[in-house]
Each structure stands twice: as C-alpha cells, then as structure tokens.
Structure 1
Amino acid sequence: MFGRFLLKRIGAAVLLAFGIVVVTFALTALLPGDPATAQLGERAAADPEIVAAYMKANGLDQPLYTQFFIYLGHLVQGDLGTSLQSRNPVLTDLGQFGPASFELAVTATVIAVIVGVGLGIVAALRPDRPLDHTLRVVSLGGVSIPIFWLSLIAVFIFSTQLRIFPSSGRLNPGETPPPHITGLYTLDSLLTANWATFGSAVGHLILPALVLAAPMVGLLLRFTRSSMLEVIGNDYVRSANAKGLPPGLVVRRHTLRGALVPVITVLGSAFASLLAGTVLVEQIFAWPGIGSYAYRSASNLDLPAIVGVTLFVALVFIAVNFLVDVLYGLIDPRIRTS
C-alpha cells in the first residue's frame, strides 16, 4: 500500500518538474533580446558569420520544438548554460553558492523547530492563561516584523553596539575556508578538526540564522498550538489520560503525533523558501548564497543564471513537498490509503 502511495507521489513530482521545464523554456523563448548578442558581445554579434556559427552550434536556427528537445537534452546532462556575469557554467555557480544557503537554512530551521514547536506545546497545554497570551503575542510579532528591519536591528545591536557576533560573511577576513568536502563550513571544519575555523563559522552563522528563524518560530508556534488544541479534545487522547498514562507520554505518543501534519506542511514550505534563498537577509549579512547570486543575476540581466536559479528553486520546492507527502504517509496511515 505504501509503495503505491510512493509511486504516485514520484509520478506527480516528475510531471510537475517537466511542466516547470516547459514553462521556463517558453518564457526564455518569448523574452525579448538577442541571445547571440548577450553571449558574444556587440562587436562579435555584428559579424553575420560569427552569429550564424553560434546559432548553428546551439541549435537556435532550428524550429522551436527542436530547440526544446535540445534544451531538455542539455538539462538531462546537467548543462544549465553559462552565466554571463561569471562566465562559469550556471551549475558550477549553483554548486558554489548553494551550500551557503543550505547551511543557513538548516540552522535556522533547527532553531525554529526547537523553539517554535516547543513553545507551541507549552501554550497548548496551558490555554488562555497569561503564558499562553504572552506566547501568542510573541508569535504575532515574529510573523509581522519585516525581515529586512529585523536584520538591520540585529546587526546594529549585536554586531555594532555589543560586538557579540560578526556582521557579515561566513568567516573572518583573512581566514582560509576549510578544505571543500560538503561546502558547509561548519561541517567541513569539523571533519578536518579545524576548531578555529569551526568557531569562526559558527559565530558568523548564528545571527543571520536567528533572524531567519524568527518568522518561522512565530508560524510554528501558532500552528503547533492550534493543532495541539484540536487533537487534545479527541477521544483517543482522553482515553489515554483516563488510563492513567504519564502526561508526557500522552503528549509525545498521542497528542503531538496527531498534531504534526499541519506543522510539517508549514515547516516544509518555510524550509524550501529559506533554501531557495532569502535575498534581503543574505544581502544585509553579505552571505554568499543563492539569494545573493539571484540578486546579482537579476541586476545584470543574466538570463542563463536567472533561469538556472528558477529551476533550482522549483526543484527545491518539488523535493521538499515530496518529502512532506512521504512524511504524511508515515505519520498518518489514513493519508496513504486515501
């Protein structure tokens, strides 16, 4: 039964990915501009022979449907084109900037889950009490505060005034990054036992991760609280309490498990958004991630890089939603039989 459920989700993910590829190709083909001029430069584009050779080499002299299959073949081989600003393959650029965003997103998500879900459980177990009202106000503030304003305030207080955390970058100026294993500075420095670099990487990571985690904490707190309150009133929870089971065991095995489905939905969407790149936070903290790369690509009208980032973001959301669906099936058997 679970195998059939998994196959359906894989098929839906593949179809969705193909649809996104079709849309990105169509938008690229419909956008105004001359690809030969963008790639070759104005001087080379003024020579008809050079332009004709470029068009033939890239299949741009073929019908549109033929161009699509050529484009699809390149994607299958991992060829996303060449960035106009860096002159590197777009896939290489994504591999360079992606680990920074992943490291930041995972750290922010871990902080948000621990704090947000924990406070949501506390609020649900003490409904309509002063602590519950206080936590609800805190969650509303976390969701409502603009992320760029929170970033600037955090830099001003904790970096400029108190000098607790660094204000920019992934390492201190002049420090050499750890040997590249995963691209995650904290993990790579641990694997190579480079403790000084590990301390510097953690110090630079904490402040932007806390800023990114703030809205997620508010969301997870509110959803966990409301979902827990719905589950607490169910018959099987009341039966577990009537049997005299320890309150902590009832919360872990019965209440929290039944309340996890909507929480996972919010968590999956939030993590995908962070991994895709939060432009404002990465720009303020000079964090070299996907968000910064996308901002520079858009500013320089770097179409191959923009399309590459678009596909990357789309695939991230597809992958995260697929994992969320699988978790649904594991947590709630009713979902995989529906």
Structure 2
Amino acid sequence: MILVTGGAGFIGSNFVLDWLQGTGESVLNIDKLTYAGNLGTLEPLHGNVKHVFVRADICDRGAMDALLAEHKPRAILHFAAESHVDRSIHGPADFVQTNVVGTFTLLEAARAYWITLPAAQKAAFRFLHVSTDEVFGSLSEDDPPFSETTPYAPNSPYSATKAGSDHLVRAYHHTYGLPVLTTNCSNNYGPYQFPEKLIPLMIANALAGKPLPVYGDGNNVRDWLYVGDHCAAIRRVLADGKPGETYNIGGWNEKKNLDVVSTLCDLLDASRPKAEGSYREQITYVKDRPGHDRRYAIDARKLEREVGWKPAETFETGLAKTVRWYLDNREWVDEVASGEYQKWVEANYAERV
C-alpha cells in the first residue's frame, strides 16, 4: 500500500485514479476536504476495496501516527497543499499552516514510523514530496529555464511556504537519513481542476458569457504540464528516483497567458460556438496581482536522463482533451463552482476590474 495526502484535490485525485487503474496497488488516501477537495472526483472508486479514504488533517500528528501504524504503507506521496497564489495573498496564514506546519508534522510522523521498520522495508521506503517551480521565483525573457540547481527565490506567500516545505524535506534526508524525493512541477492543467485556476476558470466564464479576466498585459509566461503526464512522471520518480534528489517536471510548453486564453477561445468556438461572434470578445484585462512572476520555464532533462520520462502530450493535444472533459462534465463543474467558491471569485476579481 501507498499513502497519498491531498488525494481528493486536483493533482492528487488524478494520481490516485491513474495509480489504481494502472497498478492495482492499494492506496490510503488522506484529505482534509477543504474547499478544493472533492469526493465527487473519486466517485469512480466507490466500492473499490483497494481505495481507503480517510478524512484527516496532516497537521494532526496523532491521526498521522495512527494511520501509519495501522496501514503500514511502503511510501508516502505528499500532494496536500494550499496552492493558489491569489488566495495566499488574501490569507497567508492557511498556507503557513498547511504547507509548512503540515509538512513538518507529516515528516515527523514518517520518521517515527520509518525507524521502526525492518531493514529491508526501511531501505525500500520513500517519502515523495510534490512541489512547484514557483519556489525558484521569476525569469526574464532571456534567462535559461529552471534547473534542479536554480537558487530559491519565492515571491508570494504560496511559493514561500512551498519553499519552506522543500527545505524541511531536504533537511530530514540530510539530518535523519529519511529517504525522500522532491519533484518541482510546472503549471498543471487537465480534468478535475478547481475552477479558480486559469484554464477551468476561462472555460467556465466563457460558457457563462462572463468576462475572461487576464492579469496585466497577458504576457506572463508559464510552462504547461498535462496532469496525466505529471502523474506518470511521479510514478517513475517513485520507482527509480534516487533518495535525496530533486527532479523538475515540465511539459516543454512555454505559453503566454493571453495565448492560452486565446487558444481556449478558439477551441470553444469550434466545439461549442456562440450564436454570434467569438469567445475572444469576452477577454478583459484586469489589474495585475501583487508579486506576479513574469516567467516560469522548466528544464526537465535530468528527469528524462535519469528515470527515462518525458511528456506524452503536447500543449495542443492536452488542451483539447481538457476542453472536451469540461464540456462533457458540466455537472461536476457546477457542483464545485457553487457556494464559497463564488464568494471567493467575487472578492478576488471585483477589485481588479
């Protein structure tokens, strides 16, 4: 069995679904079920005895100790995190608590469990920490992509807390010998993403006839990674990664935000055309957010060289799959986009228009 934290969130749930379909190995899935956790995403696993879901907080040391003692996982995959930059600007305390304190608590529980294992199980155990490229800060137009040796320079409360969690994971390897792996990924997109993030937000707003809010001049650049590719990379790192190492996971798809939104509009024009005009007419420029990093880019050559992974999807194929999924799963989107999320959207974007 493996233990997955945050397995009802976007990347975590995709990983759990792919894992059980591809390997059949049991998963202990731990999620606090905050606003971004959705059990509906895991509905395909209903009745699957290999999927054990427990609602728990990674900051609860007693709960973590008890779950590790009961289920005895061979690995911990740590996805759980507060992850939205805009939310971290409005409420940084939650990010410190989950990303820093939560990771520390989980590491302490993992270390206490790991040292009790028999020698062979102790040697095979892994703690895989899923992080972000945002810990490296911002690149100028001519800078080389982030590598695993790029100095950390976080610019938002979100990226600062993820950087803190990365440092804790590293320290537990060098100080205590805990066999850790860290991955730093670029912007993920795909099915089941909470609609505060760029791509699902634009799809939802476009179909609702609402403005498509683009920050600043729209020329901020991100490297886009299809979530299925990300999950495949994590499986490879878990299997073949070297303890203590970090691995950058990227899609080799640098795109300006405005180009992403424009491409989305074109796909929607083709698959769900408006009565008249184009969805591009809904693009609206809004005030930029504080500390908005200009460019991210990932050099993923180490991952390809050492564990043999490279993305299967291009941006074009991945985005087409994503748009089709959101069009075919409007019920899921409507469910998660109700209530508290709507209040958040109003609070965040009203002041920027």
Structures share a fold, TM > 0.5? no
TM value normalised by structure 1: 0.25
Q: Larger % of strand: which?
A: 2
Q: Larger % of helix: which?
A: 1
Higher relative contact order (CA 8 A, sep 6+): 1
